[in-house]
Structure 1
Amino acid sequence: MKQPKGFEEDAYPHYVCKLKKSIYRLKQSPRLWFQTLSDHLHNIGFIAGKADTSLFIWNKDNVQLYMVIYIDDILLTGNSSEMINTTLEQLRNKFDMKHLGSANSFLGIQITRHHNSFFLSQSKYAITILENAGMKTSKHLANPSQTKLSDSQASTVLGSDPMLYRHLVGALQYLTLTRPDISFVVNSLCQQMHNPMPTDFQLLQRLLRYVNAMFTFGLPISQGTTELQSFSDADWAGDKNTRRSTSGYCTFLGNTLISWSVKKQPTVARSSTEAEYRSIAAALTDIIWLRRLLLDFNISLSSPTKLYCDSTSAIALANNPVFHARTKHIEIDHHFIKDHIDTKTVNILPISTKDQVADIFTKHLSTPRYQLLRDKLTVQLNPLA
């Protein structure tokens, strides 16, 4: 340690400042803490995952342990309870840690064991959001989307406080960790953070009424095959202000939904084919990462991942990215799709629009259509609620 620049004391060059009170969240603190923890894990035999550096793996003598780290919250599992206890003891010898037993909550996500499956939900967190909004007793809705919004029907419950709007929408973003069914509406609300209009407050109120009706919903994790399949969709020029398109995709491992995304495209697409093509490229990057992550769990996929798209023209472009007047302006990095088709990483297949699961991530839908796709996403009621 040495004296900070500008505060050197020439009379006492070897003196340093005494820190009377530490400042939480120093910029370098997370990095140094993670470095200290990862160094210790390497010393006791763990190695960092290649796809995710917050995943640490022990794989020796048919014993497999997996540790996931989020700052100072740790999940540890494996096929040897004896080795798990040994690892916990080694960690306690180095750090001041508490063993909380079998996981029933992690980062606010409730984990419920049901027979041979798990159920992830955030019902307590959802109730907190509703209480902060003053809508715990609001009327229920079966669909957060609304195809037509009118300024004359603006919300009177939430008022028009932009700070409250940002607080609630930010909280709802975290709720999407186990509620992919609200991802599109939350994404739409987030785009108006800087200057929310009356219609935005109205849509927020609708979403909160839907959350109030379905706050016990969540995602199941069940045993099944290791087949990876993905769905990709785009809503061409869906944003009326910027005319940009919205990309959406989701990926299943067996019957379990493990990844999804809703994102507005960075540039305007000149055709629906271009919008769908960009969405395929975004989904493929996620598929590549998931396949690498599965390798860390000793799961090698020999067959290509099936990626379903409801645009035959986008599929044709992906298989043969010819450069002509309508496609030569598309960024070069999107044309990596053809390479991964050739290397059998992915196989892009057509699907009917009515069966396109990713449709729920790209546009407002009618209630029957919305509920049908929500069921296909496996978002459901907690069986033990």
Structure 2
Amino acid sequence: MDVKSAFLNGFLQEEVFVEQPKGFVDAHHPNHVYRLKKALYGLKQAPRAWYERLTQFLVDNNYTRGSVDKTLFIKRDNDELFIAQIYVDDIVFGSTNNTKVQQFVDVMSHEFEMSLVGELSYFLGLQIRQMNDGIFITQAKYAKNLVKKFGLEKAKHCDTPMSTTLKLSKDASGKSVEQTLYRGMIGSLLYLTASFSDADWAGNCDDRKSTSGGCFFLGNNLVSWFCKKQNSISLSTAEAEYIAAGSGCTQLLWMKQMLVDYGFNQGTLTLL
């Protein structure tokens, strides 16, 4: 579900003034300005104003905001559960009862102009297929778009993974690259490969910093992951593991609280 012109629905709390737009200039007061009552695209306040407007609307309609994820909204009715996840102007939602789904669509459509109301098939670079034997997620379309975006359709293929014994270091005498393009390529690839992570001790031969990595499963399903260079230099593998374990515990606590929001309290200890 998508909200059309979402940012235009936000109400401003601050005083914001704008120039008179071309074609609507007051001939008697050409130097006057307009005071905005609602947000416009380009305003720094626009995203927050939209979020507050949507949040207040959902709360007024008896939807409860999540305790750790403030973009999650939940509604319970006995054993029936409805969940809506907000991402700017996109809303992913579902319920154990199809009637609750239709009620949400009706409520939102009555207040806002909506589009793309239907079964979820593509979201944030993920292709989603909902079938009787499960829900399947792929990034094939995203990967193909990256190849086309960066002009690599005719690039030579290379086997992966690369050699694990190869040590990479900075090339001080190397040719400078276009930094914006390079960062864009690296960021796009990191998003694509986010589901694969590893950990090492002093793996960076330039600064000897270790890398923390972790995967978090709910049953047999991978639901969260991280891979990040540590801020400090560890003097042993044990120290590096303790730092990684600390990062993992924060993620575990977040997941446990999310399950509580969904109505699933975990009474047993969680193993790390």
- Which residue does the alignment assign to 2:235? 270
Instruction: Find 1:242's aligned residue among 207, 219, 223.
Output: 207
1:136 matched to 2:153? The reply is yes
- Which residue does the alignment assign to 1:107? 124
- Which residue does the alignment assign to 2:23? none
Q: CA 1:277/1:111 → structure 2, altered by over 3 Å: closer, same or farther? A: same
Q: How does 1:142-221 map to 2 (within 5 A)?
A: 142-146=159-163, 147-148=165-166, 160-176=177-193, 179-181=194-196
Q: How does 1:219-368 map to 2 (within 5 A)?
A: 234-307=199-272
Root-mean-square deviation over aligned CA pairs: 2.7
Kindly indicate whether the alpha-carbon contact (under 8 Å) linking 1:2 and 1:16 is maintained by their aligned counterparts in 2: no
1:17 matched to 2:34? The reply is yes
1:74 matched to 2:91? The reply is yes
What is the aligned length? 239
Kindly indicate whether the alpha-carbon contact (under 8 Å) linking 2:201 and 2:237 is maintained by their aligned counterparts in 1: yes
Q: CA 1:258/1:150 → structure 2, altered by over 3 Å: closer, same or farther? A: closer
Whichever structure has more helix as a proportion of its residues is 1
Report the alpha carbon displacement of residue 150 of structure 1 after superposing the two structures with TM. Answer: 7.8
Report the alpha carbon displacement of residue 300 of structure 1 after superposing the two structures with TM. Answer: 1.6
Report the alpha carbon displacement of residue 116 of structure 1 after superposing the two structures with TM. Answer: 2.5
- Which residue does the alignment assign to 1:378? none
Kindly indicate whether the alpha-carbon contact (under 8 Å) linking 1:249 and 1:261 is maintained by their aligned counterparts in 2: yes
| Residue type at the aligned position of 1:180 | S
SS where residue 180 of structure 1 aligns? coil
Q: Tell me how far apart the structure 2 counterparts of residues 2 and 284 of structure 1 sit (CA, whole Å).
A: 43
Q: Tell me how far apart the structure 1 counterparts of residues 185 and 116 of structure 2 sit (CA, whole Å).
A: 33
Q: CA 1:110/1:38 → structure 2, altered by over 3 Å: closer, same or farther? A: same
Q: Tell me how far apart the structure 2 counterparts of residues 3 and 110 of structure 1 sit (CA, whole Å).
A: 40
Report the alpha carbon displacement of residue 99 of structure 1 after superposing the two structures with TM. Answer: 4.3
- Which residue does the alignment assign to 2:53? 36
Q: CA 1:50/1:104 → structure 2, altered by over 3 Å: closer, same or farther? A: same
Kindly indicate whether the alpha-carbon contact (under 8 Å) linking 1:244 and 1:269 is maintained by their aligned counterparts in 2: yes
Q: CA 1:55/1:3 → structure 2, altered by over 3 Å: closer, same or farther? A: closer
Q: Tell me how far apart the structure 1 counterparts of residues 202 and 180 of structure 2 sit (CA, whole Å).
A: 29
What is the TM-score when the length of structure 1 is the normalising length?
A: 0.57
Q: Which segments of structure 1 move beyond 6 Å, counting only runs of 4 or more?
A: none
Aligned sequence identity (%): 34
SS where residue 34 of structure 2 aligns? coil
| Residue type at the aligned position of 2:102 | N
Q: Tell me how far apart the structure 1 counterparts of residues 81 and 269 of structure 2 sit (CA, whole Å).
A: 27
SS where residue 183 of structure 2 aligns? helix
Q: Deviations over 1:83-102 (max 9, x none)?
A: 21111111111111124311
Report the alpha carbon displacement of residue 261 of structure 1 after superposing the two structures with TM. Answer: 0.5
Report the alpha carbon displacement of residue 276 of structure 1 after superposing the two structures with TM. Answer: 0.7
- Which residue does the alignment assign to 1:65? 82
- Which residue does the alignment assign to 1:96? 113
Report the alpha carbon displacement of residue 139 of structure 1 after superposing the two structures with TM. Answer: 4.3
Q: Tell me how far apart the structure 1 counterparts of residues 168 and 78 of structure 2 sit (CA, whole Å).
A: 65
Q: CA 1:2/1:254 → structure 2, altered by over 3 Å: closer, same or farther? A: closer
Q: Tell me how far apart the structure 1 counterparts of residues 167 and 200 of structure 2 sit (CA, whole Å).
A: 18
Kindly indicate whether the alpha-carbon contact (under 8 Å) linking 1:56 and 1:67 is maintained by their aligned counterparts in 2: yes
Listed as ranges, the gaps of 5+ residues in structure 1 are 6-11, 152-158, 185-233, 308-385
SS where residue 118 of structure 1 aligns? strand
Report the alpha carbon displacement of residue 145 of structure 1 after superposing the two structures with TM. Answer: 3.2
Q: CA 1:140/1:118 → structure 2, altered by over 3 Å: closer, same or farther? A: farther
Q: Tell me how far apart the structure 2 counterparts of residues 297 and 84 of structure 1 sit (CA, whole Å).
A: 16
| Residue type at the aligned position of 2:124 | L
| Bigger relative CO (Cα 8 Å, ≥ 6 apart) | 1
Q: Tell me how far apart the structure 2 counterparts of residues 281 and 2 of structure 1 sit (CA, whole Å).
A: 44
Listed as ranges, the gaps of 5+ residues in structure 2 are 1-13, 19-28, 170-175
Q: Deviations over 1:267-298 (max 9, x none)?
A: 11122211111111110110011011011111
Kindly indicate whether the alpha-carbon contact (under 8 Å) linking 2:40 and 2:46 is maintained by their aligned counterparts in 1: no
